[in-house]
Structure 1
């Protein structure tokens, strides 16, 4: 999209030179994370793939797309085709409207993508994938089981929730007032 004032790009360049984004090195070259910005945008959006176009014939299972906008089928390492582009447009549109990313599955301290965090964020916002979709994923047994999500009635008698307060320890601290210290 166009911007009325391009000084923000100089600010980004300055910030990047002071605190460079460490690249994630892949077999296709370095991938750089960018710093969040709040641009004043105008005009019509122009979509681009920044040279990362992929052929999907036959259906691909490549680990593709930026960390913050990876489609569920890519995340689950399932075969994907061009509908992942619709997902990207939706995530990007929300980002432009809200001024922030919906997903942020990156360990900022170690500068790396965290798949379990990504799965948790997706499930937190969208609910679990269908059991059928999850079972097709090579990650199924690592992150899911045949139930995927318990129903509320199932949780009423869950073993963990039925433990007495003293066994739970810090998970459920006592509501009593602490003894005064003299």
Structure 2
């Protein structure tokens, strides 16, 4: 029997979304969709919802998470994936963190310390469903 889908996909459950100009702290968002500010213990605002939306769009278009976090005992693998895909964050950005744990991953100049090996990944390698000009 062939399964058919009707209608457009619907995104829902914005219960953790934040509005306004306020800054917040603490963990929100499911781990695969968590913004760098949240992972690194920084004050965050509504912009983290844009990050989540972007990672969900990736998931819907590629059929897999952009950032694999299953079974991760700490943040290092998630951060390593972000660095591999996006490059090193600016030092000024890192200094916004309130957690000392951050400096297990980066030195004072913002270089990766080798807390874990950076995965050999790129958006091009992860984009399985795109080919040719669309992939470029």
TM-score clears 0.5: yes
The answer to whether 1:81 aligns with 2:45 is: yes
- Cα distance in structure 2, aligned partners of 1:72 and 1:131: 14
Q: How does 1:99-138 map to 2 (within 5 A)?
A: 99-107=63-71, 112-138=72-98
Largest Rg, 1 or 2? 1
Indicate the RMSD between aligned Cα atoms, in angstroms: 2.6
Q: Report if the CA contact (8 A) 1:59-1:80 is conserved.
A: yes
Distance 1:96 1:105, change over 3 A: same
8 Å CA contact 1:105, 1:121 repeated in 2: no
Using the alignment, how far apart are the partners of 2:29 and 2:10 within structure 1? Answer: 17
Q: Any stretches of 5+ residues in structure 1 without a counterpart?
A: 7-40, 151-182
2:91 is aligned with 1:93: no
Over 6 Å off, 4+ runs: none
Please identify which structure carries the higher strand content.
1
Could you report, residue by residue, the CA deviation over 1:22-64 in whole angstroms, capped at 9, with x for unpaired residues?
A: xxxxxxxxxxxxxxxxxxx663332222644456774111111
In the superposition, relative to structure 1, how do residues 81 and 138 fare at CA in structure 2: closer, same or farther (>3 Å)?
same
Q: Distance in 2 between matches of 1:99 and 1:123?
A: 22
CA distance in structure 2 between the partners assigned to 1:119 and 1:100 by the alignment: 18
2: CA distance between counterparts of 1:5 and 1:45?
Answer: 16
Structure 1 residues 82 and 53, CA, compared in 2 at 3 Å: closer, same or farther?
closer
Equivalences, count: 109
